[in-house]
Amino acid sequence: MTKRSMRIECGKYLAELGTQNKNIIALEGDLKDSTQSVQFGDAHPDRYFEVGVAEQNMVGIAAGLALAGKIPFVHSFACFISMRSCEQVRTTVAYPKLNVKFIVSHGGISTGTAGTTHHAIEDIAILRSIPNMTLLVPGDVTEMRQIVKASLQHYGPVYIRLCAGDVEDVYTNNEQFHIGKATKLRDGDDATIITTGIMMYEGVCASDILKQKYGINARVLQMASIKPIDLDTIKKAATETGKIVTVEEHNIIGGLGGAVCEIVAELGNASVKRMGINDRFSDVGTSSHLMKIEGLTVDEIINNVRSLVKN
Amino acid sequence: MANTKIDGKKLKELKKLSAEARHAMVEALIAAGCGHPGGAFSSIDVLIALYFEILKIDPKNPKWNERDYFILSKGHSSVALYTALALRGFFDKEILKTFRQDNSILSGHPDMHKVPGVEMSTGSLGHGLSVGVGLALAAKLDKKKHKIYVMMGDGETQEGSIWEAAMSAAHYKLDNLIGIVDRNKIQIDGFTEDIMTLEPYKEKWSAFGWEVKEINGHDMEEIVTTLKNVPFKPGKPSLIISNTIKGKGLSFMENKAEWHGKAVKDEYAESARAEACKLLKECGCYD
């Protein structure tokens, strides 16, 4: 397996798509190297707008471009789009259902030592509660490419949350992402590990170790499509395995775990353990240090699955 | 310079339409029992000028590709926009009487997917100018000649996002974008200069790179000649400060902050009807 930068690959892919589709416009809020929108800007300077440090205006401009039939891709960090320009996202893009795509980088705590101001542990909860919004969190480069393509084929607002660091490839040639569908990465009926974003890799590793070392068959579902969410697959997992562990680089409140619990609580037939950031702002540290503090590791997933299975 | 003159007959017609609009707004507001009358009555003369003399639009084909765009960023003045659209023929005038009622298409703040002719859903202040910037950028990219008009409230321009948008419009040299501020000098909580000082107002817009003109927003001739003269300077966005009177046309409402969002009902309903009818008579509607 190899590690690749989701941001660099996304910038490259969007530039490619921009060659094929002249309606694509990219907007940037003074973070072109961080978001890697610079690659689109270099390839298509006439369709690239650097809006400066003004996220509210950037989202409003995107709405106007979409009204005129363009397909704007808005770039910034997850924290700034989901919070600084939240009302523009909700009222001026989602409410009129405009065809605006948000490519937000540095989701979760992956900016590490940049600190809490630049982390986004609330964005999934915020975006998930906005009607008309599609919310997608890819876990590796292949899934990201499939997601960006799917967002282009879907008319309406889409929020795509990328991570900051390099990520392991998990998708093989067999997986295909669809909006509203989970991707099954491992079979198993003893428990289900549901992941989103980059926790996909830890989920798969945990499942493999659980099988080899403990004889536990843990199904792994990558839920990159947080909204719309795959109700049927979650219900099936609850019914067939009865034990679910959710894993996300997000506050345990309101994110993937919250979404799964809303569904499972209505069914009342499965136990759920939510793994995520435990409703607190982060300490100083690299992303891997912070992930360890929050227990977002292969070992902790294994421990949680084993303890659910024992009970 | 383009021909900015307006003949006497047309002027009389526009004034008559303004009176008709005020009458229709009174009836819609009474039927609703709520709404935002003050800013609707201050902005209606400019709206009538736009919809009957300035905007290149086709009520039978609201999505016509080459049309001009108008965005009411001060979405709370929706009743004025709805009235202008209905009089212009975008939908049946009778619908105005369903304003803000259950299952009506006419919400307190306009919904572009419900009301024919409404280009953008608005209501939360400070959003509209950025949308106008996006539309103007798209027009430049596509080498289209249409114009984009955005009307803001003066209180609305206390929002920081307006100034983000203002900065960007000048940066991108959007001379196809025209901002109009309905400067009635009153916001919900009082006079703008008491709540949060806007002056020196013209200078602020100029400093942000806009070419600015001030007009009397109730003088139909001045409104039309100014709007026909845009862009005021090639390569720069145009800003019109439309000096108006909140509640203009209804004596009990004029220049009173309390009428920003107060219902026209009880004794006020009868006064409003009487005054609106008087306005109609004055411009010869009952001749």
Do A189 and A163 lie in one domain? The reply is: no
Last residue of a domain, one of A168, A203, A233: A168
Q: Angle between the B78-88 and B37-49 helix axes, to the nearest 10 degrees?
A: 40
Q: Confirm whether A55 is a catalytic residue.
A: yes
Residue of B nearest to A52 (CA): B168
Residues of A engaging B, defined by a Cβ cutoff of 8 Å: 25, 46-47, 49, 51-52, 54, 56-70, 72, 87-88, 91-92, 95-97
Q: Report the 10 Å Cβ neighbour count for B221.
A: 16
State residue B283's pLDDT score: 86
Distance in angstroms (rounded) separating the CA atoms of residues B214 and A273: 63
A54 CB neighbours in chain B (<8 A) are 161, 164, 167-168
Do A235 and A206 lie in one domain? The reply is: yes
Distance in angstroms (rounded) separating the CA atoms of residues A157 and A95: 10
Q: Is B139 an interface residue toward A (CB < 8 Å)?
A: yes
Tell me the whole-structure pTM to 2 decimals: 0.97
Residue A269 has pLDDT above 70, yes or no: yes
Do the domain assignments include residue A175? no
Do A79 and A211 lie in one domain? The reply is: no
Do the domain assignments include residue A305? yes
Q: Average pLDDT over chain B, rounded to whole?
A: 96
Question: What are the extents of the domains in chain B?
Answer: 8-282
Measure CB to CB from residue B133 to each of A52, A64, A72 and give the nearest one: A64
Question: Does residue A161 contact residue A197 with C-beta atoms inside 8 Å?
Answer: yes
Do A100 and A224 lie in one domain? The reply is: no
Residue A257, burial from CB neighbour count under 10 angstroms (0-12, 13-18, 19+): buried
Do A92 and A231 lie in one domain? The reply is: no
Give the structural domain span for A40. Answer: 3-168
Where does the pLDDT of residue A2 fall: very low under 50, low under 70, confident under 90, or very high at 90 and above?
Answer: confident
Do A79 and A144 lie in one domain? The reply is: yes
Count of the separate structural domains present in chain A: 2
pLDDT tens for each residue of A18-76: 999 999 999 999 999 999 999 999 999 999 999 999 999 999 999 999 999 999 999 99
Last residue of a domain, one of A168, A196, A231: A168
pLDDT tens for each residue of B188-233: 999 999 999 999 999 999 999 999 999 999 999 999 999 999 999 9
State residue B286's pLDDT score: 66
Do A24 and A160 lie in one domain? The reply is: yes
> Would the CB atoms of B165 and A60 count as touching at under 8 Å?
yes
pLDDT tens for each residue of B142-196: 999 999 999 999 999 999 999 999 999 999 999 999 999 999 999 999 999 999 9
> Would the CB atoms of A65 and B160 count as touching at under 8 Å?
no
Do A154 and A280 lie in one domain? The reply is: no
Q: Residue A277 maps to which CATH number?
A: 3.40.50.920
State residue B2's pLDDT score: 55
Determine phi and psi for A50, rounding to 5 degrees.
-85, 110
Measure CB to CB from residue A67 to each of B129, B131, B164 and give the nearest one: B131
Mutate to test the interface with A, among B67, B122, B143, B161 (most CBs of A within 10 A): B161
Query: In CATH, what number does B8-282 get?
Result: 3.40.50.970
Residue A178 has pLDDT above 60, yes or no: yes
* Single-letter amino acid, residue B77: S
Distance in angstroms (rounded) separating the CA atoms of residues A46 and A305: 52
Distance in angstroms (rounded) separating the CA atoms of residues A101 and A63: 10
Do the domain assignments include residue A176? no
Residue B287 has pLDDT above 70, yes or no: no
> Would the CB atoms of A64 and B126 count as touching at under 8 Å?
no
CA distances for B100 relative to A180, A306, B36, B106, B268, angstroms:
36, 57, 11, 6, 19
Per the DSSP assignment, residues forming a β-bridge with A8 are none
ipTM: 0.96
Do A87 and A216 lie in one domain? The reply is: no
Residue A97 has pLDDT above 70, yes or no: yes
B128 CB neighbours in chain A (<8 A) are 60
pLDDT tens for each residue of A116-173: 999 999 999 999 999 999 999 999 999 999 999 999 999 999 999 999 999 999 999 8
